[in-house]
Amino acid sequence: MARSLVVAPWGDFREWSEVEYRLDDVSTKSRSTLRAVLKYERGSGEAYPVVLIPETLVSGDVLGRCRDPECYRKEVYDAVGKDASMFLEEMGVGESRVCVMPNIGDYSMARWEIRGVDLNIVSYYSSMAMLCMLGVGLEKSVDRVVVDLSHGITLW
């Protein structure tokens, strides 16, 4: 029996309408392909979803309230993560992990530094995504990773 980690990078899920998705003989009506992929994967074992959400989905009022990085981080990650978790719950996805990913602003001139090591935004995004996936993968002892790119990769 397979144990799959299903990774789905998303954009603005709040704008999605319900459609019918088909994978082989599995048909599902949903606002996201993730539900169909999970149904397909769960036909041959267990599947654990990880959704990567861009921080750009935060509302302007949160940005206006925060003047320091710690406030921003907490407010953005709480607000965006909670919205995505509620969306997944409404879709009936079951247990899932939502990871809010960095991508606000113009990073072409940005300098990210962690413990004295320069890091570009692509490396930062990739590292954050890997840590999120690794946590679930180790916790659930998965033996394969399925990436659902149906909604695209929202990095910039």
Assessment of whether the complete model's pTM goes beyond 0.85: no
Mind listing the pLDDT tens digit for each residue in 106-146?
444 445 555 566 666 677 778 888 999 999 999 999 999 99
Angle at CA 7, nearest 5°, toward 139 and 19?
130
Contact assessment for residue 88 and residue 140, using Cβ atoms and an 8 Å cutoff: no
Size of the chain, expressed as the number of residues it contains: 156
Burial class (CB in 10 A: 0-12, 13-18, 19+), 77: middle
